[in-house]
Amino acid sequence: MDDATLAALIRAAGLEETAREFPDDVREALATVARQRASLPRTSDPTLEPTPGHLAPRR
Amino acid sequence: MSAPHQLSLAEASAQIAGRKLSPVELLEDCLARIAALDPKLNAFIRLTEEEARAGAQAAETEIMRSGPRSALHGIPVGIKDIIDLAGHPTTCHSRQRLDHMADRDAAVVALLRAAGAVFPGKLSTHEFAIGGPAFDLPFPPARNPWNPAHHPGGSSSGSGAAVAARMMPAALGTDTGGSVRHPASHCGLVGLKPTYGLVSREGVFPLAFSLDHVGPLTRTVQDSALMLNVMSGGHENYARDLGQGLKGLRIGFVRHFHETDQPADAEVAAALEAAAKLMEAEGATLRTITLPALGEFAAVNRTILQSEAAVVHEEWLKTRPSYYAGVTRRRLLPGLFIPAVDLMHAARDRTKLIAAVEAAFDEVDLLLTASSMDPACRIDDTEAVERTYPRQARTPFNVTGHPAVTVMAGLSSGGLPLSLQLASRSFTEALLLRAAQGYERAAPWKDRAPPLDG
């Protein structure tokens, strides 16, 4: 990941201060997420509902 | 006659009800045990001795006058320090919460208190139930009573260490990716994760709302049932089917979890095969069952856990990240970078995983799986500790919410406990505990204890 992208992601997450104090931890977190995304199942079924389900509030 | 601290919960309860044992005598013996062993096991963050003494004295007076309120009346129960105990800090083993004070009991503690349990202290945990074992926190990590150089499992580490060391007969833990069953597995205990929602999480510091469960760690299955009877609100007797054994039960053995998905240590695999044979000999019918791969359950659990935990910790991760142990910070930070669409993919795959496990329960009554794939590693071997967390088969039932229990299933050549896991349909804990006790009764492990008494 190039430095500009890295900086943009850190800014979007609001972690500029944390990244200044713990740059390796923040960089590692981004690498972890990138690695994990590859193993996350992605269904092609557009109708599959998530769990927990979203329920209408009861009166 | 056994020293009081050596009694199981059910044994102590029976002696208290029969007025052969005083709650005060039991508590004092447990406190003496804690004083002797805790300096090397670090199970406790905080002792609440005086309150516990007052509780035990009140229990004794009431029992002498009118008999016990419940099986837990006068029984010492340890509380993991992410669960509120009124009048004491819930530190979550963290620098972030040293100035916290719980103004009331968590709902599950209130139920235990109403049943007459006494609380000798707050037990150590991984920081916020995720970051540990760590050596850069205000309190040291708990150690394994079977060998203090080894990891006791986590995150309910103090709960596992204390109950295994016979400091008290039972403790509360919490379980988001296996954190009751992991220390139970490594410490030779019974660890129960009830069905999602059966035990209230009110007053329990959240790790991940939709995955968190509160459960008991005990030395026997019967004790687990007695704890659950109270923890779930007293509406059902989960001990009702104990003693019926395994005869006639259909058990699906999920071999691929430990054979191909995360190949287990040879001693763990052999212990599971021996347990399966014993269950058949006891009258159960076993067949091999295939579920989705462990890696799929793990990916879903991880994405949901990190996302939900990020909501809880976002402010502290931004404003005082140095207050966390390094391992905690590194485990929490990824949650702030997970795209929302990934969380929804995980939540949708969760629906499929629940359906797959439900379909298995159309064919069998119970699932038999590994719990940990390895005996406990050394606590100071950081790489081995990191490997511990994915090398397990507990997270599937956090994802699906089904109840699951781990029981001891052997001893490694290094003298460390091995374990197995059973799971059943939601809200069938009576059946689950019946089966677990059927195995426990037939196997030779129930009375094995850590080598702490010379």
Can you state the percent helix, strand and coil of chain B, rounding each to 5? 45, 15, 40
Place of tokens 């008494």: B453
Query: What pLDDT band is residue A53 in, cutting at 50, 70 and 90?
Result: confident
pLDDT at residue B17 is higher than 70 = yes
> What residues of B are in the A interface, CB distance below 8 Å?
210, 295-296, 299-300, 302-303, 314, 317-319, 321-322, 326, 329-330, 333-334, 336-338, 342, 344-352, 354
Q: Hey, what amino acid is at B237?
A: N
Give the pair of three-digit tokens for residue B77. 């129960």
pLDDT number for residue B388: 87
Question: Mutation test of the interface with chain B: which of A11, A16, A18, choosing the one with the most B Cβ atoms within 10 A?
Answer: A18
Active site residues of B: 80, 155, 179
Q: Is B119 left (phi over 0), alpha (psi -120 to 50) or beta?
A: beta
Residue B42: how many other CB atoms lie within 10 Å: 21
- In SS3 terms, A1-59 reads as CCHHHHHHHHHHHCCHHHHHHCHHHHHHHHHHHHHHHHHCCCCCCCCCCCCCCCCCCCC
The minimum CA-CA distance between A18 and chain B, rounded to whole Å, is 6
Helix axes A23-39, B294-319, angle to 10 degrees: 150
Written as one string, the DSSP assignment of B154-200 is SSSHHHHHHHHTTSSSEEEEEESSSTTHHHHHHHT-EEEEPSTTSS-
Residue A6 exposed, middle or buried by CB count within 10 Å (0-12, 13-18, 19+): middle
Cross-chain Cβ contact A52/B330 below 8 Å? no
Q: What is the pLDDT of residues B118-159, one digit of tens each?
A: 999 999 999 999 999 999 999 999 999 999 999 999 999 999
Q: Rg (Cα) of chain A, in Å, rounded?
A: 17
Taking CB atoms within 8 Å and a gap of at least 24, the contacts of A50-57 are A50/B344, A50/B347, A50/B348, A50/B350, A50/B351, A51/B210, A51/B347, A51/B348, A51/B350, A51/B351, A51/B354, A52/B210, A52/B347
Contact A14 B318 (CB under 8 A): yes
User: Nearest C-alpha of chain B: how many angstroms from A21?
Assistant: 8
pLDDT tens by residue, B211-231 = 999 999 999 999 999 999 999
Angle between helices B9-17 and B221-231 (to 10 degrees): 70
Question: What is the H or E stretch that residue B121 is in?
Answer: strand B121-123
Residues from chain B contacting residue A15 (CB–CB below 8 Å):
317-318, 333, 336
Work out the mean pLDDT of chain B and round it to a whole number.
Answer: 97
Q: What are the chain A neighbours of B337 within 8 Å (beta carbons)?
A: 9, 13, 29-30, 33
Q: Name the pairing type of β-strands B44-47 and B121-123.
A: antiparallel
The stretch B355-371 carries a mean pLDDT of 98
| Backbone phi and psi for residue A32, each to the nearest 5 degrees, phi listed first | -60, -45
Q: Do A51 and B326 touch (CB under 8 A)?
A: no
Q: Interior CA angle at B404 toward B46 and B414, to 5°?
A: 70
- Please report which confidence band the pLDDT of residue B426 belongs to, taking 50, 70 and 90 as the band edges: very high
pLDDT at B2 over 90: no
Give pLDDT tens digits for B252-275: 999 999 999 999 999 999 999 999
Check whether B427 has a pLDDT greater than 80: yes
| Chain A residue with the nearest C-alpha to that of B301 | A40
Q: How would residue A1 be classed by pLDDT, with cut points 50, 70 and 90?
A: confident
Q: With an 8 Å Cβ cutoff, are A36 and B303 in contact?
A: yes
Measure B347 CA to nearest chain A CA, in Å.
5
The pLDDT tens digits of the residues spanning B55-76 come to: 999 999 999 999 999 999 999 9
Q: What is the mean pLDDT of residues B339-347?
A: 97
Residue B23: CB partners within 8 Å, gap ≥ 6? Answer: B16, B56, B57, B59, B60, B63, B73, B74, B75, B118
Which pair of tokens denotes residue B200? 């209230």
Q: State which residue of chain A sits closest to B210, comparing Cα positions.
A: A52
**8 Å CB contact between B333 and B317:** yes
**pTM, rounded to two decimals:** 0.97
Distance CA B165, CA B124 (A): 14
Q: Average pLDDT of B79-96?
A: 98
Residue B1 reports pLDDT greater than 80: no
Residue A57: pLDDT over 80 = no
Q: Which residues of A touch B (CB under 8 A)?
A: 9, 13-15, 17-18, 21-22, 25-26, 28-30, 32-33, 36-37, 39-43, 48-52
Cα separation, B249 vs B366, whole angstroms: 8
Compute the count of residue pairs across chains A and B with CB atoms less than 8 Å apart. Answer: 84
Alpha carbons within 13 angstroms on the beta-carbon side of residue B162 total 37
Mean pLDDT over residues B105-112, rounded? 98
Q: What interhelical angle do B107-114 and B221-231 show, nearest 10?
A: 110
Residue B202 zone, left/alpha/beta (φ > 0; ψ -120 to 50; rest): beta
Chain B residue numbers touching A39 (CB-CB < 8 A): 295, 299
Res A55: pLDDT: 66
Q: Which of B212, B294, B317, B331 is the mutation pick for testing A, counting most A CBs within 10 A? A: B317
In this prediction, residue B410 carries a pLDDT of 98
Scored b (16 or more CB within 10 A) or e, B380-402 reads eeeebbeebbebbbbbbbbbbbb
Q: What is the mean pLDDT of the segment spanning A8-34? A: 97
- How much is the pLDDT for B134? 94
Q: Do B354 and A51 touch (CB under 8 A)?
A: yes
Q: Say whether pLDDT at B453 is over 90.
A: no
Report chain A residues whose CB lies below 8 A from the CB of B317. Answer: 15, 18
